[in-house]
Amino acid sequence: MTEDRRPAKKPPMRDVLAEAAFALFLERGFERTTVDDIVARAGVGRRSFFRYFPSKEDAVFPDHEGCLADMTAFLADADGTDPVATVCDGARLVLRMYAEKPEFSVQRYRLTREVPGLRTYELSVVRRYERTLAGYLERRWADDPDAGPDAALRAEVIAASVVAAHNNGLRSWLRSGGKGDAGAEVDRALELVRAVWGGAEARPVAPAPEPETAAVSSAVSDEEVIVMVARKGAPMWRVVQHIESALGTA
């Protein structure tokens, strides 16, 4: 039996540059690190850096392009039987990306909080995910005769809700230093989205000049009675909200 002396496979240059850049950002700070510093650490020329990253900011988020491509492919192959559940599952791909490298993800989160330019860049990345999810929902409902004229609006609102819920759970995990179950945090947040929007995908938004719900309080003997009037089709969360408001428990 002969020993395999083949050299270890080198990591892709994109990964080498990203690792060199991030190490320097942590050592010297983002603003004090130049592209020349990064390529010197990686042992390559400036042209190599710009072949993979248009800017320093892109080197902080090297994995999002691949994740966005995975999300796009996932949505393209989805059967569409439950569009809201599908976009929630699409958002979980982002969580998986973060959870695969918890230490890096936590360090990046802290760095992003310290550098305003990185926060702005991160918002642009988040918006791309949101637009991808909304685009899927819009296409899913484009030929649905029951979707009504507000299908595009509903797609935008639901996609924004999914992204907000996902990010709430993700950032809670990142703030903890990557401790605990990231999936449980995100699942809990996404279940709230499904509870509000699940089953609402094929109903047009009807004009409602009158309030969806109204609570009237009156005194009967020594007890106070609450009478609730709700428009048919009003979402349950809205009814509960008005009940709590009338009872003074909101």
Q: Which of 114-118, 202-206, 232-236, 240-244 has the highest mean pLDDT?
A: 114-118
Residue 103 has pLDDT above 90, yes or no: yes
- Mean pLDDT, range 10-33, rounded to an integer: 92
Nearest Cα to Cα of residue 133 among 187, 176, 90, 197? 90
| pTM assigned to the model | 0.74
Per cent of the chain over pLDDT 70 is 75
The DSSP code for 176 is T
Query: 139 or 239: whose pLDDT is higher?
Result: 139
Joined tokens for residue 164: 């907000």
* All structural domains of the chain: 13-58 (1.10.10.60), 63-197 (1.10.357.10), 213-247 (no CATH)
Query: 205 or 22: whose pLDDT is higher?
Result: 22
Nearest Cα to Cα of residue 146 among 196, 201, 194? 201
- Mean pLDDT, range 46-74, rounded to an integer: 94
Residue 4 has pLDDT above 70, yes or no: no
With a CB cutoff of 8 Å and minimum separation 6, the contacts of 176 are none
Question: Model confidence at 126, in pLDDT bands (50, 70, 90)?
Answer: very high
pLDDT of residue 219: 40
The DSSP code for 43 is T
Per cent of the chain over pLDDT 90 is 64
Residue 123 has pLDDT above 60, yes or no: yes
